[in-house]
Structure 1
Amino acid sequence: MADMDSTGNLFGDRLFTSLERTEPATGMLLVAAPGMASPGFARSVIFLIEHDATGTLGVDLTTRSETPVHNVLEDWEPLMSKPPVVYIGGPVNRTQPICLGVTALGAELPEQPDPELGGAPAAQRLANRFAIVNLGAEPGVFEGRLAGARLFAGYAGWAPGQLHDELDRGDWYVAPALPSDVLAPAGADVWGDVMRRQAWPLPLYATYPEDIRDN
């Protein structure tokens, strides 16, 4: 998925591949290597929704559109964190909305099969306080149960084995996710904030620009 130029290879091979490896898993983050050449993934942070033998699926926490949620799913806007706009989850299937929620502390989610949803639950817990929200459910079911949520158009996907190949060449760094990563406000630099809390020397690269020519 990610193409690296000579600068990206330098940073990937000598930085991310030299660090202790964390295996990707649902609820973790993929942090793009400094110098990522692919314009669609420079300084991106991907939240992993699925990762198993059949492949990997995630949504980008760093790219938002100008489309308000109320223009797409008006009834869900009150549950969205600010800014309440649609985020661009990735290049695949952008007509398919995905809602990623963060549960309120101590709250229980409606995870039992629901006949009105074809036997699917209203929510699917992923890891820690993260959950996929079924947009076919009534929004009122989640009142008081979510600390916030994000609506994504599309996702990023990897075929079986593809992500491990990209990790081996240093395209991505795997890190734990925090609720604040998913619910970051408009002015936040999610990529930089995630880098700052990683093991040394990654905090040194937190201000690395999307294009080295801008430095």
Structure 2
Amino acid sequence: MPKQSEFEITKGTLLIANVALQDPNFKRTVVLLCEHNEQGTFGLVLNRPLDLYLPDVLEEFDEWEAPLWLGGPVQTNTLHVLHTIGERIEGSIEVADGVFWGGDYEEIRELIRLKVLDKTNLKFFLGYSGWGAGQLEDEMQSGSWYLAKASQQVVFSEPHDKMWRRVLRAKGGDYAYIANFPEDPRLN
């Protein structure tokens, strides 16, 4: 098992599901941690698109056919956003270098209308991934997750179905080997 000592659980960290993690909510996922403190952890799954588009849940965004992403299994009736222009959107929180979470939705809508924001620098999520105090640390101890530093390139990269493998390969060493494991080892 590769060592995790080079990274800490903190805002801006990527959680990469261990190849053995079979929980259907997190199997082969990459999760961006947006907040981590003594009360718990909040993150968004980056590589689970939904068969829904933004206008399906917000009519006022009807001018943009942006796909929605499943941020996680918690409160799937809530909407979250990641983008790259936090300096122009009030209320945005920088969670990784050049990656911002949240902000004023009216400002976001206007920047979409002006074509400043598009699917290369903006993602909307339904739901989120959450862990109570100490829960994620326990999952790390049991080996459920690998860690990596988040980047704008990873957060907004396509194709989403190759993200898990790409992030592991970028870590190198044993992680690159793990990235090649088949989804169902019985078919190997």
TM range (shorter): 0.7 to 0.9
1:130 correspondence with 2:99? yes
Check the 8 A contact 1:99/1:135 in 2, yes or no.
no
Check the 8 A contact 2:96/2:151 in 1, yes or no.
no
Q: 1:44 offset after TM fit, Å?
A: 0.7
C-alpha RMSD of the superposition: 2.4
For residue 150 of structure 1, the aligned residue among 98, 106, 123 is: 123
Residue 46 of structure 1 aligns with which residue? 31
Counterpart of 2:93 in 1: which secondary structure? strand
Check the 8 A contact 2:14/2:30 in 1, yes or no.
yes
Between stretches 64-73 and 166-175, larger displacement belongs to 64-73
Check the 8 A contact 2:18/2:146 in 1, yes or no.
yes
TM-score, structure 1 as length reference = 0.76
Check the 8 A contact 1:30/1:45 in 2, yes or no.
yes
Number of aligned positions between the proteins: 184
Partner Cα separation in structure 1 for residue 142 and residue 79 of structure 2? 31
| Alpha-carbon displacement from aligned partner over 1:84-108 (angstroms, at most 9, x marks no partner) | 21111111000001011123xxx73
1:33 correspondence with 2:18? yes
For residue 91 of structure 1, the aligned residue among 63, 70, 73 is: 73
Aligned CA distance change for structure 1 residues 131 and 19 (closer, same or farther; 3 Å): closer
Check the 8 A contact 2:4/2:147 in 1, yes or no.
no
TM-score, structure 2 as length reference = 0.85
Counterpart of 1:30 in 2: which secondary structure? strand
Check the 8 A contact 1:109/1:145 in 2, yes or no.
no
Partner Cα separation in structure 2 for residue 77 and residue 133 of structure 1? 19
Check the 8 A contact 1:60/1:90 in 2, yes or no.
yes
Structure 1 stretches lacking a partner, 5+ long: 1-14, 112-120
Larger radius of gyration: 1
Counterpart of 1:108 in 2: which secondary structure? helix
Between stretches 93-102 and 178-187, larger displacement belongs to 178-187
Check the 8 A contact 1:42/1:210 in 2, yes or no.
no
| Alpha-carbon displacement from aligned partner over 1:138-187 (angstroms, at most 9, x marks no partner) | 32157537761111110111111111111112111110112222212246
Residue 177 of structure 1 aligns with which residue? 150
1:66 correspondence with 2:39? no
1:22 correspondence with 2:13? no
Aligned CA distance change for structure 1 residues 172 and 77 (closer, same or farther; 3 Å): farther
Aligned CA distance change for structure 1 residues 187 and 153 (closer, same or farther; 3 Å): closer
Matches within 5 A, 1:152-167: 152-167=125-140
Structure 2 stretches lacking a partner, 5+ long: none
Aligned CA distance change for structure 1 residues 32 and 73 (closer, same or farther; 3 Å): same
Partner Cα separation in structure 1 for residue 181 and residue 81 of structure 2? 30
Residue 205 of structure 1 aligns with which residue? 178
